[in-house]
Each structure stands twice: as C-alpha cells, then as structure tokens.
Amino acid sequence: MRRVSIFGATGSIGQNTLDLIRRDRTSYDVVALTGGANIPQLAHDAIDLGAEIAVTAYPNRLEDLRAALSGTGIEAAAGAEAIADAAARPADWVMSAIVGAAGLEPGLIAMSTGATLALANKESLVTAGDLVHRTAAKHGTEILPVDSEHSAVFQGLIGEDIASVERITITASGGAFRDWPLEEMAKATPEQAATHPNWDMGQRITIDSASMFNKALEVIETKEFFGVAPRQIEVLVHPESLVHALVGFNDGALMAHVGPPDMRHAIGFALHYPDRKDLPVERLDLARIGQLTFKAPNPDRYPALRLAWDVMEIGGMAGCIFNAAKEKALDAFIDHQIGFLDMADVVEATLNKLAADSCLINAEMTLDTVKQTDHLARKTATEIIATRG
Ligand code: NAD
Ligand code: MG
C-alpha cells in the first residue's frame, strides 16, 4: 500500500488524480485531501477513499466540513497552517495541485518528509525554483513533473544525457483567442477567456492559457526543472494539443511526445514512475487526425510570453515577483477591473519597478524572503492596477 496525499484534491488536477486512485483503490492508502470552498466534494472524496484527514483552505468553512464528516472518524481541519500540518504527515507520494503560490509551502514541507512530489503546481518552481531544488537535495526527494509539457520532456530525456540536448520545445494551443483579431482580444471578458479549445482545466489556468501567461510560467518552469539555458527553450503554437513537447538533440534528432489532451496521462506517469501502467486515456488514431500543425507565436498577441525571458535574465526573485503580479492582475481581470491585454502591462510594470532593487532581487531565497517578496509584488501590482481603474 502506498500512502498518498493530494493537495488541491477538489480541483481539476486533484479530481483527475482521484479518478486514477479510485481505479486501483487497494494499492493506495489516502492520508490527506485538501480543498477550498467545495466542502461537499471534499467530504465525499475523503469518505469514499477513507482519508485520515480532510482540510479546507477556508477557516470559516470548518464547521461545514466537520458536519459533513461527522461520525466517519475522519479528521477535519481548516486554514493554511492546517494544510501545512497535513503536508507534514508521512506519505510516499504527494500530489501538489493547489493553484497559485499558496501551493509552494505544502510542497516544500512534503518534500522535507522525504515524500516523492508530483508537481502540478508550476508556481512553486517559478516562484522559488532554487529553494525547491535545495529542499529536494537536502532531503533526497524526487520531484516528478505533472504539467503535460514537462512530463513529456521528462519522458523524452529518460536514458539521455542532458549535455546532448540542444533545445526544448514546449507547445501551446494558443488558448481561447488564438484566432481572434487583436482589437477583439482587448475587449475579451473573463467568461470568454475561461473556455479552452482542447483542455478541461481550472478557471485560472484556462485564462492564463488564453493570455499565454501559462506558457510563460511553463518556460520558466522548463528552465528550473531541466536546468537548460533560456536560449535553449522554444514555444510553438500547436492548435491540436497532441504534441506536448519536443526535445532536440545535438545530432539533429527531435523526440516528440504525442498523446491525447488528458491530464491523466501525465498524472498517471508520475503516479506509477518508474513503471508504466495501463491508463484510461484515449489511444490516438493518427490516420484519422491526418495532420498536425505548428507555428511560431506572434509576440504582439502574447506579450506575456516575452516577459518569461526577461524574468529568467533578471533571475533571483524575479520569478516570485512575476508570478505574484500575474496572480493579482488575473484577479483584477476576473473582477472586471482591467482588460485582458492590461494584465501583461500590469505585470511588466510591477517587474520593472521591483527589479530595479538589486537587494530585493538577489536576496537569499528562503520561505520567509519569498513570502515577503510575494507580498510586496502583490501590493505593488495592486497599486499599479488602481492607477488604471
Ligand atoms: P483548480 O482551480 O481546478 O483547483 C485548484 C485547487 O486548489 C482546488 O482544490 C482549490 O480548492 C485549491 N485552492 C485554491 N486556492 C487555494 C489556497 N489559497 N490554498 C489552498 N488551496 C487552494 O486548478 P487546477 O486546474 O487543478 O490547477 C492546479 C495546479 O495545477 C495549478 O498550479 C495549475 O497551473 C497546474 N496545472 C493544471 C493543469 C490542468 O489541466 N488543470 C495542467 C497543468 C498544470
Ligand atoms: Mg501545461
């Protein structure tokens, strides 16, 4: 029996993870499940899978969670500290699938117990890549990528020498507005941005896909995960979302990972690694699909993408600032305070303002300094948003 915990269990990645666990219940012992406001889902899954503890991020929902779990013997808890405590419970495999920078701390704590970390929360590596790597090295923890592109690259690198890698290409669907005129994109609503042509994901990552902030985060994640130079990373628009990434080697070979747009592949790969096991995903019929198309992203349509290379060049805390400003800009867009294309302006202005402070950028990276920088970047972005409202 493997002991597993799922952070962000009620979300899109979390539910896909539970789907795989349910198909093979006898192999897993569920330790902790965490969620947010969806108490019925959290309680249902905790009872169904016999979890030790269920935690909601919201302290004001603790009573609801307790009521939903009463008589089951399952512990109920609430708040960020309770999530951190749950991450300290011994487990063999932990899924990090909370959305946003809030996912960093539980992941670090889980790693420090020695659990294998299945990392969907890309914000962890963007915000504090150095700290994540140091924590993993200190405790001998394995980190397995769950982002589909990074899982694809990871699979393409098995048995290879990273020194023979020339480039890593990650693909982007182009998001909800890939065929819209630029003037229309400026007027796009959160509701329009929250529909994805190929993938079924949480609201925030879906909007980030339309703006390509998601791809910008993934470019930085690629650098942090595989240790390649920024100039070795490339993004290709691939509307079919079937080739997830390509690894280019120094002999001219390109290894492409092709698979259906179903996160259960990447999650299942991380769950069963180093083995491969049968997964309930579609088998692609390439003859029926007929053709795959690729094109270079148009920088005018996706200003967020360019910022990824700025962030990597600045280094240090720039990723933390970038992510925190992006989270604030996204909140403001969802609240109809700023337009779709304003998000990149807000993030760039925040980055420019704070990157001028070299003490801030080059501060020693600890959980405390990361939290302080994250807080400052959110405050700065909020001020910049206010001047635009
Ligand atoms: P989601 O919005 O569907 O779910 C997010 C989960 O996090 C929920 O359980 C929610 O309750 C919880 N949560 C939200 N805010 C929280 C907070 N402040 N503290 C604690 N818990 C909180 O998101 P998702 O689409 O499942 O994405 C989760 C992570 O995985 C993100 O980092 C995303 O970028 C990454 N990811 C998602 C996909 C996908 O297909 N959905 C693909 C690749 C990577
Ligand atoms: Mg991805």
Q: Phi, psi (5° rounding) for residue 122?
A: -65, -25
Say yes or no: 9 and 124 in one domain: yes
Does 96 have pLDDT greater than 70?
yes
Specify which residues 233 forms β-bridges with: 168
User: What was the pLDDT predicted at 344?
Assistant: 98
Residue with CA nearest ligand 1 atom 22:
98
Domain CATH for 98: 3.40.50.720
140 vs 73: CA distance, rounded Å: 34
Say yes or no: 98 and 124 in one domain: yes
**Burial profile 216-240: b = 16 or more Cβ within 10 angstroms, e = fewer:** bbbbbbbbbbbebebeebbbbbbbb
Domain finish residue from 251, 271, 289: 289
User: Which chain residues have CB less than 5 Å from ligand 2, an ion?
Assistant: 147-149
Residue 296 falls inside a structural domain: no
Confidence of residue 199 (pLDDT cuts 50, 70, 90): confident
Say yes or no: 216 and 332 in one domain: no
Ligand nearest to C-alpha 265: 1
Mean pLDDT for all residues in the chain: 97
Whether the upstream peptide bond of residue 90 has omega within 30° of 0, thus cis, is no
Residue 277 falls inside a structural domain: no
Residue 22 falls inside a structural domain: yes
Does 197 have pLDDT greater than 90?
no
314 marked ligand binding residue:
no
ipTM attached to this prediction? 0.99
User: What is 59-76 written as a DSSP string?
Assistant: GGGHHHHHHHHTTTT-EE
What's the domain count of the chain?
3
Residue 138 falls inside a structural domain: yes
Say yes or no: 140 and 247 in one domain: no
Confidence of residue 200 (pLDDT cuts 50, 70, 90): confident
User: What was the pLDDT predicted at 162?
Assistant: 96
Say yes or no: 254 and 367 in one domain: no
Residue 337 lies in domain: 315-388
**What's the average model confidence in pLDDT over 104-119?**
98
21 vs 64: CA distance, rounded Å: 26
Specify which residues 241 forms β-bridges with: none
Say yes or no: 251 and 123 in one domain: no
46 vs 55: CA distance, rounded Å: 10
pLDDT tens digits for range 270-321: 999 999 999 999 999 999 999 999 999 999 899 999 999 999 999 999 999 9
Say yes or no: 7 and 137 in one domain: yes
Domain finish residue from 97, 117, 145: 145
Domain finish residue from 126, 145, 164: 145
Among 336, 345, 330, 381, which Cα is nearest to 209's? Answer: 330
Say yes or no: 169 and 215 in one domain: yes
383 marked ligand binding residue:
no
Q: Is 202 in the pocket of ligand 1 (CB under 6 A)?
A: yes
Does 102 have pLDDT greater than 80?
yes
Residue 298 falls inside a structural domain: no
Pocket test for ligand 1, best of 12, 34, 267 (most atoms within 8 A of CB): 12
User: What was the pLDDT predicted at 176?
Assistant: 87
Does 389 have pLDDT greater than 80?
no
Residue 297 falls inside a structural domain: no
Domain CATH for 338: 1.10.1740.10
User: What was the pLDDT predicted at 35?
Assistant: 98
- What is the value of pTM for the model shown? 0.98
- Report the nearest atom of ligand 1 relative to the CA of 204: 2
Query: Is 225 in a helix, a strand, or coil?
Result: helix
36 marked ligand binding residue:
yes
Say yes or no: 89 and 165 in one domain: no
Residue 308 falls inside a structural domain: no
pLDDT tens digits for range 338-381: 999 999 999 999 999 999 999 999 999 999 999 999 999 999 99
In the block, which residue shows the tokens 């979302």? 241
Say yes or no: 113 and 155 in one domain: no
Say yes or no: 71 and 159 in one domain: no
User: What is 285-297 written as a DSSP string?
Assistant: -HHHH-----B--
Confidence of residue 388 (pLDDT cuts 50, 70, 90): confident
149 marked ligand binding residue:
yes
Distance 252 CA to ligand 2 centre (A): 25
Residue with CA nearest ligand 1 atom 39:
201
Residue 309 falls inside a structural domain: no
SS3 sequence of 318-379: HHHHHHHHHHHHHHHHHCCCCCCCHHHHHHHHHHHHHHCCHHHHCCCCCHHHHHHHHHHHHH
Say yes or no: 322 and 253 in one domain: no
